[in-house]
Amino acid sequence: MPPKSSLNYQQLQPIVLQRELLEYQRTLLTNVGILVGLTLIGTLGYRLIEGWSWFDSLYMTIITLATIGYGETNPLHIEGRIFTLTLIVMGVVSISYIAAQFTAAIANGHIYNIFQARRQRRFMDSLNNHYIVCGYGRTGRQVTAEFAAEGSISFVVIDSDPAAIEQAEMAGYRALQGDAALDNTLFLVGIERAVCIVAALPSDAENLYTVLSAKTLNPRIRAIARASTEEAMQKLRRGGADEVISPYITGGKRMAAVALRPQVMDFVDGIIAGSNRSFYIEEYRIDEPSYIGVTLKQASLRSQTGALVLAIRRADGDVIAGPDGNTEILQGDVLISMGTPEQLRSLNQLLSPISNKQSALRLPRIK
């Protein structure tokens, strides 16, 4: 996707662009008012001076202002000719002024910016159950790459750096330049309709403010934040973050796991990330009444779909790993299942998938 103009909606501060839009709307209304005013003055003038009909007066006014030169509609008296000369001068000056303003707006890219703003605004308004990625640094780029690999996820990037926004656009992502910690910026990307926000900004303080703002505007949103230290992790959790990830701590644990159990980690990586996977792990909330209160054996999910239930997370947070056939399915349970895309598609037809309106978890991705 080619990069957009350097003066587009994303690379202007939202408040500044809004003021620019209002200013040009006022200018446009003023120009229209000038033309309408001249037309009324001319029509009324010919009506009073020459005593013509309203239609003849309007017709003479239009061809005079347009400098078409069809000739006089009716013979003019000396007073009418003086009025016509005055009307011609007023019309030429006004139209030249309006044309100069319009040309300058095109040359400076203002009109393009306004149309870009409106298109972007319509897109932002259409977002629903989407993800917001705050920060397009090393962590943010990896997060968006994984989202893009899923294929079915709607997400938008926020960053205050114009260069980062340009990189996100070149990658084909929707992006907005602004401060993610500000309510106005979050409103522009539909925070009230978003399902999850990822705070991947370089500063722990910025991530904390972003999480606080997001949770205030949308208490139901799932907030995932990046932290540099253990102290920052604790503060972010107290600030409302549902999950806090430290790249250093997580990276250290992963390196140790790869060193000790390389085959296990290769298998895990192959089912939780990337675009060329044979197996997927997905989550399902049990909302279908026919499966509530029955055991896994009675539900026959494995025999009907081939998908394997790896774990069950109860509504109270307890996790049952490796449930057997006698494990009962309860209302509000989340089944963590593994299988091929075809197997998960079959399972999706049997179970009610997780709804973003009821939970912060993502809808299952099925090819």
Q: What is the 3-state secondary structure (H, E, C) of 18-37?
A: HHHHHHHHHHHHHHHHHHHH
CA distance 366 to 346: 10
For the chain, percent of residues with pLDDT exceeding 70: 80
Where residue 279 falls among pLDDT bands split at 50, 70, 90? confident
pLDDT tens figures, 1-42: 333 333 344 444 445 555 666 676 677 788 888 889 989 998
Q: What's the pLDDT at 116?
A: 62
Q: What's the pLDDT at 157?
A: 94
Are 39 and 90 a contacting pair, CB within 8 Å? no
Domains assigned to the chain: 9-113 (1.10.287.70), 128-245 (3.40.50.720), 278-367 (3.30.70.1450)
Are 127 and 194 a contacting pair, CB within 8 Å? yes
Q: What's the pLDDT at 361?
A: 37
Q: What's the pLDDT at 164?
A: 92
- In terms of Cβ atoms closer than 10 Å to its own Cβ (0-12, 13-18, 19+), residue 271 is middle
Residue 15 CB coordination number (10 Å):
12
Whether residue 251 has pLDDT greater than 60: yes
Whether residue 104 has pLDDT greater than 90: no
* Continuous segment of H or E residues that includes residue 337: strand 334-339
The residue ranking higher by pLDDT, 346 or 359, is: 346
User: Measuring CA to CA, how many Å separate 47 from each of 21, 57, 101?
Assistant: 39, 6, 32
**Which among 117, 90, 107, 109 has a CA at the least distance from the CA of 35?**
90
Q: What's the pLDDT at 19?
A: 62
Q: What's the pLDDT at 206?
A: 93
Hey, what amino acid is at 93? V
Q: Which residues pair with 133 in a beta bridge?
A: 157, 198
Pairing of β 243-245 and β 222-226: parallel
Where residue 120 falls among pLDDT bands split at 50, 70, 90? low
Are 312 and 337 a contacting pair, CB within 8 Å? no
**Which among 29, 10, 31, 25 has a CA at the least distance from the CA of 111?**
25
Kindly provide the residue ranges of all beta strands, DSSP E only, lying in 135-277, ordered along the sequence.
155-159, 174-177, 196-199, 222-226, 243-245
Can you give the pTM of this predicted structure? Answer: 0.58
Q: Specify the 3-state DSSP secondary structure of 212.
A: helix
**What is the average per-residue pLDDT within 41-70?**
85
Pairing of β 174-177 and β 155-159: parallel
CA distance 299 to 307: 12
Where residue 357 falls among pLDDT bands split at 50, 70, 90? very low
For the chain, percent of residues with pLDDT exceeding 90: 21
Are 269 and 343 a contacting pair, CB within 8 Å? no
